[in-house]
Structure 1
Amino acid sequence: MAAKWLLIETFGGRHEPTVIALGHTPKKFVPLGNIVRHHVTLAETRRAITELTIEQSTIDRISEDGSRRTIAVPLTISAPRLHGLMVWCGRPDEEVPARDLAGAWLFDLTEDTSLRSDDLLTVYGIPADQHAEQRQQSIAGVYSAPLVSNHRDEGTALARIVRAEDGQETQSLWTLTRPDGQQRALHYSCRQMTKPGPDGTPHHLIRGITHDIGPATDNPTAPSSDTLDHRVMDRIAADGKHHAIVNPATLRLLRWIGPPLPRLAWQALPGQPAPAIHPDDIPTARAVLDGSPHGQIRMRALDGSWLTLDISAKPIDLDRSTTAALVTLRPTTGPGNPASPA
């Protein structure tokens, strides 16, 4: 049988690299030796991992005994940190199969930021001239359109963000609607860990890789973008209220349920203000999430001013042991809510 591309993660966190896909087929963090049996192929693959960990440059070479050609492509956001690699190893005269698209990403839970590689933005179908403005955004932005999450697994993924426990591994299959209208099945794998940030303080991180495994219509487990749940969520804010899942520990937005609140700064894209609750209103926000019936707070608007919002909240179970807050927000004077003074 012809050799297939291996997708290997090198997330770290006291773990050896593992296989997360063989060809188009996802794998559950399988040790390399359990997948690769040929001793030369195994040695060449391990050698490629070691070399790409030091310098992220594509490898294409023939083994010393002439029996194997190895191609290894790094997956990284920025040097020198390797998130993973794609490896093909076969006979030198063998035709190299087409390589799936895959890209690396990083959640910094401490900073509430998501970083995406150019490879990942290519997976999403984003033109190269837009990559610079799309590489970084808030974590909540990841859970918005055009991605459709798998509801069976989304609660687990959000719960692990709230708990932020080192060593947690998550995999799931989502559906992406590309700008050209194609619907693609995307499988992601990730692991959580704590590492020093730029300022030297501990940062809670999630390192991941997303893999395009083909058309969503060819994969019966890929979530549909036209389920009843999604149609209901698209209309849930018709009464002028907006709903979001919020991390009760950090007060940060995790996911909108239905359309986002207009004018609110929440995506943290370049050129936008950082999402924020007015410092004077943080005690009110915490009180509402702790059980107060309702409150009024100011949140940063896209123009840099403050939006005044009425809020209420109720607990929502993400999994059997983790609770978040389902928050309802409404501008105090409707859509024309004027900016409040700082």
Structure 2
Amino acid sequence: MVGTRWLLIETFGGGEPTVIGLGSAPRKFVPLTQIFRQRETLATLRGAVAATAEALEPVEIMSDSGRRRTLTMPLLITPERMHAVLVWSGPVEEEVPPRDPVGAWYFNLSTSKSTRSDDLLDLYGVAPENRAREHAIAGVFTRVITNSDESDALAKVVRSAPGTEHQAVWTVRRDDGALRAAHFSCRMLEERNAAGESEVFLRGVTHDIGDATDVSAAPPPVILEHRVLDAAAAEGDFRAIVDLRTLRLLRWMGPAMPGIAWQSLAGEPEPAIHPEDLGTAKAMSRNLAHSRTSGRLRLRTLDGGWKAVQARAVLMALDQYTTAALVTVRDPEAEVDY
């Protein structure tokens, strides 16, 4: 049925489970019925997925004849929530093939926080003593090398429309320096939190599909548009893409400004604009519809204080319908003429 390859099936919610990987080959949210036509095969797969979702642990199912077995491995984001399941089926005497590294994650788009599973941290090669499961969404981009579809992905994050799906092959830089091609699959869902409030989550999995140098779809270490932006930056400038609606950081373009709290790591202050400067920031956001804007803002620092910065913003199009702000910040004392 699945043979020598593991099948990766997403179970994010919001629809029937679909295939997003066959071995190391990505698939585009393909319904099971489009790959497997036999009723018996479909029943076995659906039964395996359902049994794994109920047990939230690996299961083994034997055929009635006792000659075949089906194995599963759930991809859990919490002990109570499964994002995907790996399934393999074959003769009982057949050796089980190795599995690709796969990990689960989600973005809480209502809080701009990202949560990663231990499987994903394994995929990233993160040492046990350095593991932080929760951090700011912007922190994701310190590890991945995006493709030309990055602006489309950011536009979807800004719009935060439940039901939205996205897939991409990006390059992951592991902590040991290895560059791996990774297939990202995700879907947005509106859910209720413990307080009964509505929040939008982007739930996904990351699938390591091979060495980045061997996968043609994986972007090179630095793509051209990032080289152009880096070349245009003046010394002392730090650039960020910011959500115009929430004023939250989407990602840094290049290195982050030193000393600023932006990662939302445990033990660090939450990222913030000084309450007295929020009016300035909101006015800058509104006025971008007509022209470039600038102003002085105070940003939360890692030591819990505030740092004054000179901010300049220009409007940038993420797609045909969605805009964000490209904000350049620098130390006011080091301000130069442009």
Counterpart of 1:141 in structure 2 is 139
Shift of 1:61: 3.3
CA–CA separation in structure 2 for the residues paired with 1:324 and 1:227: 21
Instruction: Verify: 1:241 aligned to 2:247, yes or no.
Output: no
Confirm whether residue 193 of structure 1 aligns to residue 189 of structure 2.
yes
Specify the SS of the correspondent of 1:143: helix
Look up the match of 1:303.
303
Question: What is aligned with 1:98?
Answer: 98
Q: For 1:130 and 1:68, locate their aligned partners in 2 and report how far apart those are by CA, in whole Å.
A: 42
AA aligned opposite 2:201: L
Task: Tell me if the contact between 1:33 and 1:42 (Cα under 8 Å) persists in the aligned partners.
Answer: yes
- Cross-structure match for 2:86: 86
Q: How does 1:105-254 map to 2 (within 5 A)?
A: 105-131=105-131, 134-144=132-142, 146-150=143-147, 152-234=148-230, 237-254=233-250
Instruction: Check conservation: 2:145, 2:222, Cα contact below 8 A.
Output: no
Identity of aligned residues (%): 47
Q: How far off its partner does 1:42 sit?
A: 2.3
Aligned twin of 1:2: 3
Q: Secondary structure at the match of 1:123?
A: helix
CA distance in 2: counterparts of 1:99 and 1:318, whole angstroms? 36
Higher alpha-carbon deviation: 30-39 or 267-276? 30-39
TM-score (norm 2): 0.93
Alpha-carbon offset, residue 45 of structure 1: 1.7
**Contact 1:235–1:258 (CA under 8 A) maintained in structure 2:** no
* Alpha-carbon distance in 2 for matches of 1:194, 1:330: 37
How far residue 111 of structure 1 moved from its aligned partner, in angstroms, is: 0.9
Query: Where does the alignment leave 5 or more consecutive residues of structure 1 unmatched?
Result: 336-342
**Measured at CA, do residues 226 and 158 of structure 1 come closer, stay the same or move farther in structure 2, by a change above 3 Å?**
closer
Taking the aligned partners of 2:282 and 2:21, their CA distance within structure 1 comes to: 42
Instruction: Report the equivalent of 2:254.
Output: 258
Please say if residues 113 and 136 of structure 2, whose CA atoms lie closer than 8 Å, have aligned partners that are also in contact. Answer: yes
Paired residue secondary structure (1:313):
strand
Cα separation, partners in 2 of 1:228 and 1:113, compared to 1, 3 Å: same
Q: Which residue of 1 aligns with 2:319?
A: 319
Q: Is the 8 A contact 2:274 2:297 kept in 1?
A: yes
Q: What count of residue pairs does the alignment treat as equivalent?
A: 330
Partner residue in 2 for 1:338: none
Q: Distance in 1 between matches of 2:276 and 2:196?
A: 28
Letter in 1 for 2:137: I
